[in-house]
Amino acid sequence: MAMARTMTLLLVAAALVVTSCGAWKVNIRMPTVAAMDDAMAPLIHALRPLLGSGRHAGVPCDSWRLGVEAYNVRDWKAVPASCEDYVGHYMLGSHYRRDSKVVIDQAIAYVDSLKLAGNGKEVWVFDVDETTVSNLPYYAKHGFGATPFNVTSFNAYAQEGSAPALPETRRLYNKLLSVGIKPVILTGRAEYLRASTATNLRRQGYSGWMTLLLKAPGFKGSSLAFKSSERQKLQDAGYIIVGNIGDQWSDILGAPEGARTFKLPDPMYYIG
Ligand SMILES: *[C@@H]1O[C@H](CO)[C@@H](O)[C@H](O)[C@H]1NC(C)=O
Ligand SMILES: [Mg+2]
């Protein structure tokens, strides 16, 4: 069976690790699943110290990040204090860029696979923060999300319009323009940030969007509710949402989501 072969390969690989550590030996011809479990469990413990990541409540930060990205960890208020360094390294090093590239490569392959009507009604929804532009200059000064979100200081930063582009997303954006899919910018930023947001986007090489939608002053609901209702309006006006991309699950959940959704990485904050 393929499964059994995979497990054997895993055990061979594991045995190599263990042998090189000189800790203990594994019998690679495991006769039963139970015996395999016995062999694997201590291996996982043996590998843990090699991860080199901080921990939160006994959970390594890379496992915490996976929990966040997979939407298993929800409603969190701040990055665990012990994971500040881990998240900082992730964001500033090549890992964040690489993870973003995987997402955008998939999105571009999806665009290439589409049979477009080309009727001017096909749109793609983009979020702003941590999607079209990066707020790393702000978050680097605020513990990479380890300190609770401060709307006053963040909005002051947003008003500068100085956030750099996320280059992978800009690549997708330009691809969409080239095939006639119209970008729609849909952000949970408040309406009064319209001018600074538009200026920021233009400075960073984004142009030609169909519309820029921001949260009206009176809106009381969640981000998920706001964004879903704006997408519904687009659909009611006859637009086809062929794609939707954001860094928060609340960008891409809630009907109508769009024909396909893409989740960019963001271990710094959670918006529901
Ligand atoms: C939030 O930021 C503002 C402006 O920088 C500051 O005056 C205020 O004390 C901050 N609030 C908290 C709770 O840290
Ligand atoms: Mg965002």
Rounded to the nearest whole angstrom, what is the distance from the C-alpha of residue 198 to the centroid of ligand 1? 26
Rounded to the nearest whole angstrom, what is the distance from the C-alpha of residue 144 to the centroid of ligand 1? 16
Q: Are 196 and 157 in contact (CB under 8 A)?
A: no
Arithmetic mean of pLDDT over the chain: 85
Cα R_g (the chain), whole angstroms: 22
Q: Are 193 and 185 in contact (CB under 8 A)?
A: no
Q: What SS3 class is residue 23?
A: coil
pTM given for the model: 0.81
Q: Are 83 and 238 in contact (CB under 8 A)?
A: no
Strands 55-56 and 59-60: antiparallel
* Percent of the chain residues past pLDDT 70, beyond the cut: 79
Q: How confident is the model at residue 18 (pLDDT cuts 50, 70, 90)?
A: very low
Distance between terminal CA atoms of the chain?
A: 43
- Rounded CA-CA distance 175/102 in Å is 16
Counting from 1 in the atom list of ligand 1, the atom nearest the Cα of 151 is: 1
The string of DSSP letters for 256-270 reads S--SSEEE----S--
| Best of 150, 155, 159 for a ligand 1 pocket test (most atoms within 8 Å of beta carbon) | 150
* For ligand 1, atom 4: residue with the closest CA: 153
Q: What SS3 class is residue 150?
A: coil
Model pLDDT for residues 206-251, shown as the tens digit of each residue:
999 999 999 999 999 999 999 999 999 999 999 999 999 999 999 9
pLDDT at 35: 45
Q: How confident is the model at residue 6 (pLDDT cuts 50, 70, 90)?
A: very low
Per the omega criterion (within 30 degrees of 0), is the bond before 256 cis?
Answer: yes
Q: Is the pLDDT of residue 47 over 60?
A: no
Domain spans in the chain, listed from the N-terminal domain onward: 2-50, 81-263
Beta bridge partners of 133: 129, 165
Rounded to the nearest whole angstrom, what is the distance from the C-alpha of residue 188 to the centroid of ligand 2? 8
CB-count exposure of residue 27 (10 Å: 0-12, 13-18, 19+):
exposed
Superfamily of structural domain 81-263: HAD superfamily/HAD-like (3.40.50.1000)
Model pLDDT for residues 155-203, shown as the tens digit of each residue:
999 999 999 999 999 999 999 999 999 999 999 999 999 999 999 999 9
Q: How confident is the model at residue 58 (pLDDT cuts 50, 70, 90)?
A: low
Ligand 1: residues with CB < 6 A are: 150, 152-153
